[in-house]
Amino acid sequence: MIDRKKLVVSHAPFWHNGSSVAERHYNILFAAVPAAALGCFRYGIPAIGVVSFSIAFAIIWEWVMNLATRQAPTIGDGSAALTGLLLAMLLPATSPWWLVVVGTFLAIVIGKQIFGGIGSNPVNMVALTIAILSLSWQGHLDFNEALVNYDFGFPMVYPLAQLKHFGTAAIGSFSYMDLLLGRQIGGIGAPFGLALIVGGIYLILRGFIRWEIVISFLAGIFVTAMVFYGANAEKFADPLFHLLTGYTLMGAIFLATDDSSSPVGFIPMLIYGAVGGFMTVLIRNIGIWVDGVVLAILIANIVSPLLDKIRPKVMGEVS
């Protein structure tokens, strides 16, 4: 017997509230720009080059795929530009031009378009790209190696690399405030914790990303890191260090919250975020990789369709 109540919707006329896919992407771009701008300000022309090429080529690859698949152009919806900007924010400022071109190709063509374009990507394309680039050109994604020619007056070593290679004794020179204010090396936009948090709060308040995913991802990292830290404080870093270093905040706010690769239900979102956070710390603490955020998000993305089966909500239901 069909539950007829579930088929009832409000009657016409309907009023379009003006929201669109493009508006969503432009707002996320707006939220990401402060951290990217700080990165460009810090690293100068090389960072501007990476960001510019990344945005330009992401749109170009999207346009090429539009032509190849004979689809209406989707370059105006801001999705490709956003992908380009987020990718640039995770790359070192010294990334060569070809790495950016290959990276945007991986993100737009391999990560998104071959699955059917916007809304069809099973995993976050930026996380996928960083994972492939890290596997393929480890040296270019090693921040200690990539940024040897810079000196900003704070410890010029990648905090997570110090932790991984030399243990907790080597991270004593980093203060939480410094880490929060971006006084650490890393990607162009990823180290600027405060700017990312402000952007994230804006997106949550405007409803463009789900707080459930952001909070559960960060909580997953905090709780898991706390367990490790509680078990052996000399060997493992404390939870705050994990929250303020590497790709943590970029991942929580901009990567894990990707629409098509994350679940829609309340409980599934909480589990999804927690899986991402849990795996991040697991990879950092007992895996071989320095940072585990992108791989953890890819794993959570893969789990996402299964999580969506937990207490699914009927679409179109009027409460």
Partner 1 sequence: MALKTEIKIAYGVVIYFLFVGILSYTVFSADSPETPIRVMYKSATGKVLFDHKTHSGDTGYGLACKDCHHHPMEDDTDYRACGQCHIPGKAESLPKSCLECHDADEIEDTEMLNSGDAFHGQCIGCHQEFGRGPVDCAECHVK
Q: Which stretch binds partner 1 (CB under 8 A): 40-48, 200-208, 263-271, 296-304?
A: 40-48
Q: CA–CA separation, 199 vs 253, rounded Å?
A: 8
Q: Considering the complex, what minimum distance in angstroms separates the CB of residue 299 from partner 1?
A: 23
Amino acid at position 174, single letter: F
Nearer to partner 1, 123 or 163 (CB): 163
Could you say whether residue 99 binds partner 1 (CB under 8 A)?
A: no
The structure tokens listed for 99 are 């790495």
Residue 298, classified by CB atoms within 10 Å of its CB into exposed (0-12), middle (13-18) or buried (19+), is buried
**Per-residue x/- mask for partner 1, residues 148 to 177, rule CB under 8 A?**
xxxx----xx---x--xxx-----------
Position among 38, 81, 190, 300 found at the interface with partner 1 (CB under 8 A): 81
Q: Considering the complex, what minimum distance in angstroms separates the CB of residue 189 from partner 1?
A: 16
Closest CA to 216 of 133, 307, 91, 116: 307
Q: Which stretch binds partner 1 (CB under 8 A): 74-82, 193-201, 209-217, 306-314?
A: 74-82
Nearer to partner 1, 56 or 132 (CB): 56
Q: List contacts with partner 1 (CB under 8 A).
A: 22, 44-46, 48-49, 51-53, 55-56, 59-60, 63, 73, 75-78, 80-81, 97, 142, 144-145, 148-151, 156-157, 161, 164-166
